[in-house]
Structure 1
Amino acid sequence: MEQYFEIIFRTVILYLLILVIFRLMGKREVGELSIMDLVVFVLIAECVAFALEDMEKELFPQIFPIILLFLIQYLNSLLALKSKKVRDLIDGDPSLVVKDGIINEEEMRKQRYNLDDLFQQLREERVPSIKNIAYAYLEPSGKLSIFLKDDDPLIIPLIVDGDIIERHLKMIEKDEQWLLETLKTKGYTNSNEIFYCCYQDYDLHVQLKGTPIDGKQ
């Protein structure tokens, strides 16, 4: 009977601990988990399994790796929040696999993403033909984001957290010099102070770092 109480006690403690940890790690859909998230979740599951299987060992030494994994993930999330470069390094970056109805073979090979995968996801999104696609991005989660030619103009981020995204400039056939000069005409002289800048309807939408939600500087 004592063993059953020990099992109940460990199960409740581990359940509450995992519930708190996952709550603190933030809200993300399962399909949007990064590689780092998946690694942490798998390792936490293994630690929980060991804690429930080995009843002879004390509980805290078996809980400690779970807490350590949470701290690693929490530190990673803070670094990723402050730096887009860290986010790109850990989570990866969307890959442009279709542009103006043309499949990007080089990017497909780089991502080890074949035509069968592409056509399957197009069928799932009810897109009848490649030629109808303006842009299709393979997200780090493996989901295909599709923008049709008849859709509203695509919003393209050019600056995120002060970092200029050069590959997006190439998409609109512009360069960094054009971006900086255009920002200067709008009164923005330092790109590092820009939280978000996007290209929409042939114009730039800019938000500075620290802008309150009411939009007033």
Structure 2
Amino acid sequence: MPDWIFIISRSLLFLGLLFITTKVLGKKQISELSFFEYVAGITIGSIAGEVVTGLEGSLAHGILALVVFGFVTFLVNYIAIKSKKFSDFAEGKSTVVIKDGKILEENLKKEKYTIDELSALLRQKNIFKFADVEFAVLEPRGTLSALLKKENQPLTPKDLQMKMPNEKEPQTVIMDGNIIDESLRCAGKGRGWLYTELEKLGVTLDNVFLGQVDSYGEITVDLYDDKIQVPAPAQRPLLLATLKKVQADLEIFSLETECEKSKAMYKKNSIKLQETIDKLSPYLNG
């Protein structure tokens, strides 16, 4: 049998074995690797490459070695889940490198990181000054977690005591010009509604590359033809503007009428509507 047939058959066999091994080990194996996973991954790949191209080598021995390394990796991960001490040994521990805006040089040297490398990791998080950082930790997988000082953190609605609506994941209802009915049902919409919304935007279904419905029931689309300008959804801003106009009209009616009973009614409803507007503004501001 020609050598190329052996190589093709072994390649397909080990491709399947590596896929099964990775599925057994879990998603962790394809994420950022720990020390042990890094070593195991390189070794498993080397074994597979050697057996595939080494025509004189034993196929059974290669499969055995692959199974052994896969089992050991699985066993290490299992024990690491059960034992914190073993996890620290096999996967490493987090190291604090910045505290109260000051770099801990000894910890940095211990992890064999330079100032330039630390600066690069901070810049990836849009942090350009060490002094702005309250706390920074170098994780076992080589990533940096950083907490800015309170005065340097961006304001959030919670800081302003604003109540915000819960956001749900957007549903992709159109992809490559095709309607995805399951996502449309999850969004609580139908095809009739979708066609109506596309008509409002002045676009056709076959020109839509991607269409998504957000948790407010508004649709945004990305077109194949990027030169076409699609208007932004305006239902919520229009509703807010209408409510404000009604509230203003009620105030005007209360000032213009001479009937005290009507004046009190207009004033009361104007105050209630203003309270409603204040509550709904975070939802309707877009």
1:133 corresponding residue in structure 2 = 133
Q: Please give the secondary structure, in 2, of the residue aligned with 1:55.
A: coil
Letter in 2 for 1:104: L
Length-normalised TM-score, structure 2: 0.50
- The alignment partner of 2:27 has SS state of coil
Matches of 1:9 and 1:32 in 2, distance apart? 31
Letter in 1 for 2:115: L
Structure 1 residue 76, shift from structure 2 partner: 0.6
Deviations 1:105-129 (A, max 9, x none): 2211221222111111112211021
Amino acid at match of 1:80: A
2:95 aligned partner: 95
* 1:53 partner amino acid: T
Name the structure with the higher strand share. Answer: 1
Paired AA for residue 88 in structure 1: D
Residue 39 (1) aligns with residue 39 (2): yes
Unmatched tracts of structure 2, length 5 or more: 155-286
Partner of 2:108: 108
Tell me the amino acid that sits aligned with residue 77 of structure 2: S
Identity of aligned residues (%): 30
Provide structure 1 residue ranges, at least 5 long, that are not aligned to the other structure.
153-217
RMSD over aligned Cα atoms: 1.8
> Which one has more relative contact order, counting CA pairs under 8 Å at least 6 apart?
1
Other-structure match for 2:66: 66
Separation (CA, whole Å) in 1 of partners of 2:52 and 2:29: 27
Q: Report if the CA contact (8 A) 2:29-2:37 is conserved.
A: no
Give the distance between the partners of 2:120 and 2:57, measured in 1 at CA: 49
How far apart are the structure 2 equivalents of 1:7 and 1:30? Answer: 26
Quote the residue 1:50 is aligned against.
50
* Partner Cα distance (1:15, 1:32) in 2: 21
Per the alignment, do residues 113 and 30 of structure 1 end up closer, same or farther by CA in structure 2, a change over 3 Å counting? farther
What letter is aligned with 1:138?
L
Secondary structure, aligned partner of 2:28: coil
In structure 2, what is the Cα distance between the partners aligned to 1:76 and 1:100? 36
Cα offset, 1:29, TM superposition: 7.0
Does structure 1 retain, via aligned residues, the 8 Å contact 2:100–2:134? Answer: yes
Q: Secondary structure at the match of 1:137?
A: strand
Larger Rg: 2
Amino acid across the alignment from 2:140: P
Q: Partner residue of 1:23?
A: 23
Q: Aligned partners of 2:14, 2:130: CA distance in 1, in Å? A: 49
C-alpha distance in 1, partners of 2:29/2:136?
A: 21
TM-score by length of 1: 0.65
SS in 1 for 2:56: coil
Q: Report the counterpart of residue 200 of structure 1 in structure 2.
A: none
Answer whether contact 2:95 2:139 (CA < 8 A) is retained: yes
Say whether residues 1:82 and 2:82 are aligned partners: yes
The C-alpha deviation readout for 1:181-202, integer Å capped at 9, x for no partner, is xxxxxxxxxxxxxxxxxxxxxx
Q: Secondary structure at the match of 2:135?
A: strand
Other structure's SS at 2:15 match: helix
Q: How many residue pairs get matched?
A: 152
* 8 Å CA contact 2:119, 2:128 repeated in 1: no
2:22–2:29 CA contact under 8 A, matched in 1: no
CA distance in 1, matches of 2:24, 2:10: 21
Partner amino acid, structure 1, of 2:49: A
Query: Aligned AA for 2:91?
Result: D
* 8 A Cα contact 1:31 1:141, kept in partner: no
The 2-side partners of 1:103 and 1:14 are apart by: 47
Displacement of 1:89:
0.6
CA distance in structure 2 between the aligned counterparts of 1:25 and 1:92, rounded to whole angstroms: 19
Structure 2 CA distance, aligned partners of 1:148 and 1:63?
50
